[in-house]
């Protein structure tokens, strides 16, 4: 749920840009609303490391106890990504 979102934001606040963060949550909202799939790419920029480009694929599984269950697949695409 949205309570978990605050925790995730706190963990990644220094490694994901605000625009990428918005794209990530947009993908989650799309999947939850449409009960389908979504995909996005974002860059993790840790303070003490090299940036990593991540491809994120999301798939709606089901609703359980008023919460949407979403499967997430993260793949490091840094070597393929050129921006």
| Bridge pairing between strands 67-76 and 52-64 | antiparallel
Give the model's pLDDT for residue 11: 58
Residue/partner pairs of 22-29 with CB below 8 Å, 24 or more apart: 24/56, 27/56, 27/58, 28/58, 28/70
Give the model's pLDDT for residue 46: 79
pTM metric for this prediction: 0.75
First to last CA, the chain: 32
Angle, vertex CA 67, rays to CA 65 and CA 70, nearest 5: 130
Q: Which residues of the chain have pLDDT under 70?
A: 1-14, 81-83
């Amino acid at each position: 749920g949205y309570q978990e979102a605050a925790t995730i934001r706190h963990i990644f606040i220094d490694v994901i840009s605000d625009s990428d963060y918005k794209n990530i949550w947009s993908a989650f909202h799309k999947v939850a609303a449409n009960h389908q799939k979504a995909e996005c790419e974002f860059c993790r920029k840790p303070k003490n490391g090299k940036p990593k480009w991540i491809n994120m694929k999301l798939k709606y599984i089901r609703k359980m106890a008023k919460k949407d269950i979403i499967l997430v697949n993260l793949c490091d695409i840094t070597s393929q990504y050129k921006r």
